[in-house]
């Protein structure tokens, strides 16, 4: 049975949720009226609304070419040219900048041979899917995590005393013992030969074969499992719950309409006013990096440091944005398209949290401090609050779609038929089950206890679904929740975890999800919506997407290794990835072993496995209280939203308001929220519609302003061999 929900008939309405549609009074029809006019099977309704077309060869070829380019160039751009991260978040400025360039200057000139909107959407989707590979999603830390523990072991007496590397199964890390100077020394120091760059044959490829043979299938199974799960969730989110998908809706506005070579948006004066103005601001500031004595910089980071004396509590709680707010035009544009309660929560929430955290710290309790171990991936109250909030959101996702998901499950694993279920959702659930089993099974083969492997993979699934939900509902493209599976399991199992099991879980964490600002599933969720809006086949698209992922891995791994062996890890200005990440697991494992030994429970904890480990759990009290506080806050807030029409707090606020990136964007969300409120209040739906192209222009202008310095820097580097000035539009 389909729920009553607003189904919008124009592209603009795709950016509005059912809860806030009354703000706009835009033309729309209800799902009930569609049911009366169309066949009652939901899949038939969907096929009528979104008539699927076969994925074209041109779109696939262009997508594969773009995927190869992104996987080849990203690491070079980020850590050699040192420009705005080529991917960096779930709306990569580089990819969207290239999209605008292609649509304006290439596709528009092809006339009759121009690619249609669906072909461009397929190509863009394939590129977005591989964006998880070359940057923070994987390659930024992947190779470092596999080889640098061998170097750090020589510098840490505690590691040597406990022989901590001996706890790692053979083949999980690179073994440099056969030729340490060539395998490890060259990685650290870089190429020192007489030629300009290292010959390909000088890289010790054979030393990397065994660890890659272990990790590549595990990572690929994770991606395929999340791909299958995305297909299961898609129809429920896009058609039944009518989530706005702000990023996909914005992207759809850029696509050429049927029978045209360029989108009508590019002919709108307000669009060019917004995009041109923002681009000129960033271009001026980039030129200032080259000619600081000639030009004046337009400040986008405001300085209210005179308020420091009255903002002590905020600053103590990490609220530096109170005195140094920054303007991000992309965020202002996104805030204009999402529900007002969400943009308000993202804008004011971080300030409220900073005040609360500062007050708690002034009384001697720090929410960010580790309660066990130390470091970035150790359990802390704020991590468990976010994890609890994620569980709350995940439970509501299941509850809202319980009828649909039940029908999908029956169709996938029983002989009974389930009306209203798309075939791609059925196959998606089957693929998820098989890939999930392979994912957890590969961890077990690597030495992880089966109960821990299931817990670890399940936490990543919850994380991926919740972040995807935030992207689909709120368009918060730059998001990094501090929820690490190893820390969650450590806080829940306590002494029953054991130091060797902790070590393996933390190694898996730093390889798979240490920097989740580029998580695979949110990329795919946005892509599926865009491909659907353009009428392309989702099932066929995902088949080519799996090939794109494989191709991306085959390109990104050797390219990244080549750059690192050529320059040397010590010359790459990424101390967090090169120094901190590789030591997190081993430092915590050493401390855990020492603590368990002092408590006299080391041997017992190491002997536990399976159900016995589950029975011996000793959860940390602070972690459990924080987790249930997060669950309770989300459930309470979501329940109040169902009963109180003007309830001001959105439950997603509890997930994101304490994260690092939202502090950068809070001020801009407030600006976007205020603009939207004023436009609707004094101009109504008509004015809101008219201003929309300008807000899209703000987003386009910023992505062009971010990618242009990268292209200029590349030309300068190739021409002179010198480092161009660093310039970043969005936070790293």
Q: Which of 560, 501, 483 is nearest to 187 (CA)?
A: 560
Strand-pair category, 28-30 with 6-8 = antiparallel
83: its two tokens: 């420009």
Does the structure show a pLDDT above 70 at 642?
yes
* Percent of the chain that is helix, strand, coil (3-state, to 5): 70, 0, 30
Does the structure show a pLDDT above 60 at 298?
yes
- Percent of residues, the chain, with pLDDT higher than 90: 75
pLDDT digits (tens, 9 = 90+) for 432-451: 999 999 999 999 999 999 99
Q: Where are the alpha helices (DSSP H) in 163-204?
A: 180, 186-189
pLDDT digits (tens, 9 = 90+) for 645-656: 788 888 888 889
Cβ atoms < 10 Å from Cβ of 188: 16
Please report the pLDDT score of residue 257 as a whole number. 84
Please report the pLDDT score of residue 46 as a whole number. 43
Give the integer Cα–Cα distance in Å for 724 and 706. Answer: 15
pLDDT band per the 50, 70, 90 thresholds, residue 29: very low
Q: What is the mean pLDDT of residues 195-200?
A: 87
Cβ atoms < 10 Å from Cβ of 651: 21
Does the structure show a pLDDT above 90 at 275?
yes
pLDDT band per the 50, 70, 90 thresholds, residue 52: low
pLDDT digits (tens, 9 = 90+) for 674-700: 999 999 999 998 999 999 999 999 999
pLDDT digits (tens, 9 = 90+) for 382-391: 999 999 999 9
Please report the pLDDT score of residue 155 as a whole number. 92
394: its two tokens: 């995940």
Tell me which of 29-43, 112-126, 687-701 is least confident. 29-43
Q: CB-based contacts of 602: which residues, under 8 Å, 6+ apart?
A: 498, 499, 593, 596
Please report the pLDDT score of residue 31 as a whole number. 30
Please report the pLDDT score of residue 21 as a whole number. 36
Does the structure show a pLDDT above 80 at 550?
yes
Please report the pLDDT score of residue 30 as a whole number. 29
| H/E segment holding residue 450 | helix 450-474
Instruction: Give residue for tokens 């308020």.
Output: 307
pTM: 0.90
Please report the pLDDT score of residue 156 as a whole number. 92
Residue with the larger pLDDT of the pair 16 and 206: 206
Please report the pLDDT score of residue 15 as a whole number. 36
Does the structure show a pLDDT above 60 at 10?
no
Give the integer Cα–Cα distance in Å for 697 and 191. Answer: 45
pLDDT band per the 50, 70, 90 thresholds, residue 374: confident
Q: What is the mean pLDDT of residues 205-231?
A: 97
Give the integer Cα–Cα distance in Å for 383 and 623. Answer: 8
Instruction: Give residue for tokens 């429970």.
Output: 601
Indicate the SS3 state at residue 143. helix
Q: What is the mean pLDDT of residues 197-214?
A: 95
DSSP notation for 566-627? HH-GGGSS-HIIIIIHHHHHHHHHHHHHHHHHHHT-HHHHHH--HHHHHHT----HHHHHHH
Does the structure show a pLDDT above 70 at 397?
yes
Using an 8 Å Cβ cutoff, are 615 and 193 in contact? no
Whether the CA torsion 249, 250, 252, 258 is positive or negative: it is positive
Please report the pLDDT score of residue 246 as a whole number. 93
pLDDT digits (tens, 9 = 90+) for 248-260: 999 999 999 888 8
Please provide residue 568's backbone torsions phi and psi, each rounded to the nearest 5 degrees. 95, 135
pLDDT digits (tens, 9 = 90+) for 573-582: 998 999 899 9
Q: CA torsion 23→26→28→31, rounded to 10°?
A: 0
Q: Which of 580, 578, 514 is nearest to 187 (CA)?
A: 578
Q: Which of 468, 515, 458 is nearest to 492 (CA)?
A: 458
| H/E segment holding residue 229 | helix 205-235
β-partners of residue 29 are: 7
- DSSP type of residue 30: E
- DSSP type of residue 185: I
């Amino acid at each position: 049975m389909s729920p009553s929900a607003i189904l919008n008939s124009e592209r603009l309405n795709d950016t509005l949720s059912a809860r806030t549609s009354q703000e706009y009074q835009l033309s729309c029809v209800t799902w009930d009226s569609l049911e009366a006019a169309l066949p009652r099977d939901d899949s038939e309704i969907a096929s009528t609304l979104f008539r699927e077309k076969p994925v074209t060869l041109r779109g696939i070829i262009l997508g594969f070419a773009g995927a190869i380019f992104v996987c080849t160039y990203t690491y070079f751009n980020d850590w050699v040219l040192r420009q705005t991260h080529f991917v960096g978040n779930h709306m990569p400025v580089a990819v969207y900048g290239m999209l605008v360039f292609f649509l304006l200057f290439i596709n528009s000139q092809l006339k009759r041979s121009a690619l249609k909107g669906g072909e461009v959407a397929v190509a863009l989707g394939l590129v977005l899917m591989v964006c998880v590979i070359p940057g923070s999603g994987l390659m930024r830390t992947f190779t470092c995590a596999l080889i640098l523990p061998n170097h750090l072991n020589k510098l840490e007496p505690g590691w040597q005393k406990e022989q901590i590397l001996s706890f790692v199964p053979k083949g999980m890390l690179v073994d440099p013992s056969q030729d340490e100077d060539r395998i490890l020394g060259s990685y650290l120091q870089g190429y020192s030969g007489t030629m300009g760059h290292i010959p390909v044959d000088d890289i010790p490829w054979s030393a990397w074969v065994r660890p890659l043979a272990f990790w590549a299938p595990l990572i690929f199974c994770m991606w395929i499992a999340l791909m299958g799960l995305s297909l299961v969730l898609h129809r429920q989110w896009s058609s039944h719950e009518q989530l706005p998908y702000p990023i996909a809706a914005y992207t759809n506005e850029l696509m050429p309409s049927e029978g045209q070579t360029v989108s009508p948006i590019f002919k709108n004066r307000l669009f060019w006013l917004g995009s041109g103005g923002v681009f000129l601001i960033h271009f001026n500031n980039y030129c200032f990096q080259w000619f600081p004595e000639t030009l004046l910089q337009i400040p986008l980071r405001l300085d209210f440091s005179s308020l420091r004396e009255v903002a002590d509590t905020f600053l103590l709680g990490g609220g530096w944005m109170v005195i140094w707010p920054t303007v991000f035009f992309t965020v202002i544009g996104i805030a204009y398209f999402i529900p007002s309660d969400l943009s308000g929560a993202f804008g004011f929430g971080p300030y409220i949290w900073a005040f609360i955290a500062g007050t708690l710290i002034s009384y001697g309790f720090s929410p960010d401090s580790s309660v066990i171990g130390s470091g970035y991936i150790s359990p802390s109250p704020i991590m468990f609050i976010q994890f609890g909030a994620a569980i709350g959101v995940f439970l509501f996702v299941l509850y809202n779609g319980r009828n649909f998901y039940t029908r999908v499950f029956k169709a996938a694993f029983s002989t009974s038929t389930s009306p209203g279920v798309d075939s791609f959702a059925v196959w998606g659930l089957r693929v998820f089950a098989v890939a999930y089993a392979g994912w957890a099974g590969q961890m077990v083969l690597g030495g992880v206890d089966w109960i821990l492997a299931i817990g670890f993979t399940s936490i990543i699934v919850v994380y991926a679904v919740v972040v995807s939900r935030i992207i689909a509902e709120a368009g918060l493209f730059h998001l990094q929740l501090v929820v690490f599976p190893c820390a969650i399991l450590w806080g829940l199992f306590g002494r029953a975890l054991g130091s060797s099991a902790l070590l393996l879980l933390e190694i898996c964490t730093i390889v798979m999800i240490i920097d989740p600002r580029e998580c695979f599933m949110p990329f795919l969720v946005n892509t599926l919506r865009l491909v659907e809006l353009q009428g392309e086949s989702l099932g066929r698209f995902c088949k080519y997407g799996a090939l794109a992922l494989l191709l991306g891995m085959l390109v990104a791994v050797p390219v990244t290794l080549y750059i690192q062996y050529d320059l040397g890890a010590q010359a790459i200005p990424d101390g967090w990835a090169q120094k901190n990440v590789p030591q997190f697991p081993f430092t915590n494992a050493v401390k855990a072993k020492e603590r368990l030994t002092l408590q006299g429970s080391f041997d017992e904890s190491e002997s536990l496995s399976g159900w016995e480990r589950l029975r011996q759990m000793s959860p940390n009290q602070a972690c459990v209280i924080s987790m249930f506080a997060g669950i309770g806050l989300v459930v309470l807030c979501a329940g109040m939203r169902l009963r109180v029409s003007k309830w001001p707090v959105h439950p997603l606020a509890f997930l994101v308001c304490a994260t690092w990136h939202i502090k950068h964007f809070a001020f801009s969300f407030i600006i976007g929220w205020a603009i939207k409120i004023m436009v609707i209040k004094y101009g109504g739906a008509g004015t809101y519609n008219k201003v929309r192209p300008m807000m899209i222009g703000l987003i386009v202008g910023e992505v062009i302003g971010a990618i242009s310095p990268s292209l200029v820097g590349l030309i300068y580097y190739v021409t002179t061999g010198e480092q161009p000035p660093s310039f970043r539009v969005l936070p790293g």
